């Protein structure tokens, strides 16, 4: 039985048909409409991607992974920084147009769920997941349950302050962790290095034709993997902040395993090596307590799709679909 | 039916007989033996306090709240900064001498449990508790269960780094939160102000006879309550850091309520007012998300005793006591 997972990121909407064992058997992509686009246009884009897949497969439920605050009832997106959603009743709106059970989940939660079900977090009773994409997404899975918090917005690890008065964050605050450990930071620091004119930036200059705007995270990762010391240092610096932040989270949550995912994790040990070192130096009580392993995520950038599809699976069976419809009819919001 | 709670702090061991509704009907105290004292001496002191109470009351179980890392099985204290305990099999050792079921719990966990059962956290499904004593103790109660983490050492909020390269902490790291918000910090900063010779420290100088070693936290709180602006500022500074740290924790845990306890919380609004302001300015996503209330703990410095006693209560009934004895015999450690 297939379900669809849709991962709505800041730049791309990825959709996939997923089996019960987490295999993506078909996939499609759309560009994410810009911030100024009306919510209905974003919905149209989601439906267009889902429609392409339902035309080719029999599908029984749809999971949506959204980069934003999803309310505890998983019907409403409270706030999405990259989209025009503000208190958007996404679940009901999509259900009305799809006539399939829809589950909405925060994107980091969905990715963590996938890692716990099928990836590097399998079998762990206390799993903590940190996703390094443009920012930091995070989630905790305890005894097989996502920890959503009281209002559904737990796991915003990226916006914990690590440097008082530090870099301004897109959330409006200063010194947020994701201003020191994320894909955006890697690019920001690489651009600063490039424009500094320093001779250590030679490889970066050659790879980008000297144009800071052409520089991307994968440039840095590729050059570092090829042995460029400056790019390795840039990744190590992000890795060090990653390790410090993880030590903070481990002090608070005491997980049995920490999984690092997201695009930046593709740098592998160039990122995780320095992260492990900083973590080992920073964890409080080290030497007197068991310590969690720090592992790279296994599912790559499809974790959000796989997790969202799997979270929709409980609603895919015929009886569950009928229950879902009845419950939705009973509690229907007025919509827009 | 009475149970005993024993709260083992850095300086005092407090014990109390507690009823099922959380009332302390009798109490006693001992000084905590110093760091260099053998574990058996600490046990003797605990047993002496418990013995005083059992001579006066019929008691059915004993809960121990210990300032230290308590392992997930709640038998062993992995590490206690103020005591000589290192992998100390405290539960079994005490049971052998008391012949009563013994439960060992981290002191902040026990205090949080008391607040959830009988105090300011009652009825809250997602409760976060921060205790400002000499350091910071913390705990989370979700759906009526203490979140102990994978190894039993969750909630070490005080050792999350908030200032890179900041003040040296007793845990060995730098910049830990409890180096900016705790009773120790209040005293450290008040002493620094006193010895600075600044005219704003006049009231402090008079209250302590100019002796920095004579200065205590309650001096500062009392002078602030009497209107001394310098002491109010000292409390406000601690409160601001308290608010920033709570904003970090709320980003991660998304609790429905935050309760602030511990000795420093006796300063009331002189501490909590500035904490609420800093929290309101620092919480990520503010304005787009529900926010938890920030309340003062209700049970004062008896929360540890009440919580420990209540956590022992499930083992107080006759059948439970028999089960406890059998389980202990089956899994007995070799002890010392």
Position A323 scores a pLDDT of 81
pLDDT band at A335, cuts 50/70/90? very low
Least confident residue range of A45-59, A83-97, A109-123: A83-97
The mean pLDDT value for B200-205 works out to 96
The answer on pLDDT for A87 being more than 60 is yes
Say how far apart CA B108 and CA B91 lie, in whole Å.
18
| DSSP-derived 3-state class of residue B162 | coil
Model confidence pLDDT, tens digit, residues A26-54: 999 999 988 788 888 899 999 999 999 99
Position B158 scores a pLDDT of 96
pLDDT band at A336, cuts 50/70/90? very low
Mean pLDDT (chain A, rounded): 93
Least confident residue range of A214-223, A325-334, B32-41, B230-239: A325-334
Phi, psi at A331, each rounded to 5°? -110, 20
Say how far apart CA A107 and CA A117 lie, in whole Å.
15
Higher pLDDT among residues B41 and A112, named by residue: A112
The answer on pLDDT for A326 being more than 90 is no
Considering only CA atoms, give the Rg of chain B: 20
Cβ atoms of A138 and A156 closer than 8 Å: yes
Cα angle, residue B301 at apex, residues B297 and B303 outer, rounded to 5°: 65
- Residue in A78, A285, A293 to test binding to B, most B beta-carbons within 10 Å: A285
Place of tokens 């392992």: B71
Position A163 scores a pLDDT of 98
Interior/surface letters B224-263, b for 16+ CB within 10 angstroms, e for the rest: bbeebebbbebbbbbbbbbbbbbbbbbbbbbbbbbbbbbb
pLDDT band at A79, cuts 50/70/90? confident
Question: In CATH, which superfamily holds the domain spanning B123-298?
Answer: ATPase, nucleotide binding domain (3.30.420.40)
Residues of A in contact with B244 (CB under 8 A): 161, 164
A332 touches chain B (CB under 8 A): no
> Model ipTM?
0.94
Position A332 scores a pLDDT of 64
Residues whose CB is less than 8 angstroms from the CB of residue B188 and which lie 6 or more positions away in sequence, other chains included: none
Q: Nearest residue of B to residue A160 by CA position?
A: B248
Matching fold, domains A2-111+302-330 and A123-298: yes
pTM across the whole model: 0.94
The answer on pLDDT for B216 being more than 50 is yes
Taking CA atoms, A270 is separated from A219, A220, A298, in Å, by 14, 11, 17
Q: How far is CA A228 from the centre of its chain?
A: 28
B123 touches chain A (CB under 8 A): no
The answer to whether B284 contacts A69, with C-beta atoms less than 8 Å apart, is no
The answer to whether A162 contacts B164, with C-beta atoms less than 8 Å apart, is yes
* Sequence spans of domains, chain A: 2-111+302-330, 123-298
| DSSP-derived 3-state class of residue B57 | coil
CB atoms within 10 A of CB A214: 12
The architecture in CATH of the region A2-111+302-330 reads 2-Layer Sandwich (3.30)
Higher pLDDT among residues A317 and A224, named by residue: A224
Position A40 scores a pLDDT of 85
The mean pLDDT value for A225-245 works out to 98
- Residue in A248, A251, A289 to test binding to B, most B beta-carbons within 10 Å: A251
The answer on pLDDT for A69 being more than 80 is yes
pLDDT band at B110, cuts 50/70/90? very high
Of B153, B157, B284, the CB nearest to A171: B284
Task: Name residues 155-174 of chain B within 8 A of A (Cβ).
Answer: 155-157, 159-164, 169, 171-173
Cβ atoms of B182 and B132 closer than 8 Å: yes
Say how far apart CA B244 and CA B163 lie, in whole Å.
12
Residues of B in contact with A290 (CB under 8 A): 150-151
A126 touches chain B (CB under 8 A): yes
Position A327 scores a pLDDT of 78
Of B162, B164, B252, the CB nearest to A252: B252
The answer on pLDDT for A308 being more than 80 is yes
Model confidence pLDDT, tens digit, residues A153-173: 999 999 999 999 999 998 999
């Amino acid at each position: 039985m297939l379900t669809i997972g849709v991962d709505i990121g800041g730049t791309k909407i990825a959709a996939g048909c997923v089996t019960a064992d987490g295999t993506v058997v078909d996939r499609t992509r759309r560009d994410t409409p810009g911030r100024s686009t009306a919510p209905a246009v974003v919905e149209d884009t989601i439906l267009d991607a889902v429609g392409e897949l339902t035309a080719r497969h029999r599908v029984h439920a749809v999971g949506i992974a959204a980069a934003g605050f999803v309310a505890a009832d998983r019907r409403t997106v409270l706030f999405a920084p990259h989209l025009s959603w503000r208190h958007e009743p996404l679940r009901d709106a999509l259900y009305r147009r799809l006539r399939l059970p829809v589950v909405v989940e925060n994107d980091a939660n969905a990715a963590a769920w996938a890692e716990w079900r099928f990836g590097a977090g399998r079998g762990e009773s206390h799993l903590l997941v940190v996703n390094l994409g443009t920012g930091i997404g995070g989630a905790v899975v305890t005894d097989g349950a996502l920890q959503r918090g009281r209002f559904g917005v737990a796991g915003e690890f990226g916006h914990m302050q690590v440097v008082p008065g530090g870099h301004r964050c897109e959330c409006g605050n200063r010194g947020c962790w994701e201003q020191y450990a994320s894909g955006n930071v890697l690019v920001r620091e690489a651009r600063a290095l490039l424009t500094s004119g320093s001779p250590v930036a030679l490889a970066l200059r050659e790879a980008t034709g000297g144009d800071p705007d052409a520089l991307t995270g994968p440039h840095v990762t590729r050059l570092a993997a090829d042995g460029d010391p400056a790019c390795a240092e840039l990744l190590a610096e992000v890795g060090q902040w990653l390790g410090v932040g993880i030590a903070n989270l481990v002090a608070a949550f005491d997980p049995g395993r920490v999984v690092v995912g997201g695009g930046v994790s593709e740098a592998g040990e160039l990122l995780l090596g320095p992260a492990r070192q900083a973590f080992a130096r920073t964890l409080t009580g080290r030497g007197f307590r068991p310590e969690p392993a720090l592992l790279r995520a296994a599912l790559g950038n499809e974790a959000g799709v796989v997790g969202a599809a799997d979270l929709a699976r409980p609603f895919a069976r015929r009886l569950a679909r009928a229950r879902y419809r009845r419950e939705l009819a009973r509690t229907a919001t007025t919509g827009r």
